Amino acid sequence: MANPLPKEYYQQLEEIQAADFVMYELILYLDTHPHDPQALVQYKQFAQYSKQLKQAFEAQFGPLQQNSPNTSTAEWTWSTSPWPWQV
């Protein structure tokens, strides 16, 4: 591969995946338990945490999604950075 990705790329990505997984599990749980205060607090926590992780990741490694809100770099890097399946 052109330039092997740094180790923390994968660490941060796994951390984002774990935070997102918990968030989506809680979303599904809250769909059927809208009045559960504890789950709501936990969901807000993880949604915030996931947002922070993504912002940090995207500032360092480029956009995670095509329409990621914080495009830090000047030029369009979505089509140049390694594609998700090439990671």
**Rule CB under 8 A: which residues touch other proteins?**
14, 17-19, 21-22, 25-26, 29, 32-33, 36, 38-39, 46
Nearer to other proteins, 19 or 58 (CB): 19
Residue 77 CB, nearest distance to other proteins (Å)? 27
What minimum distance in Å lies between the beta carbon of 67 and other proteins?
Answer: 24
Q: Tokens 């090439």 appear where?
A: 86
Query: Per the structure block, which two tokens stand in for 55?
Result: 């912002």
Q: How many CA atoms lie within 13 A of 65 on its CB side?
A: 8
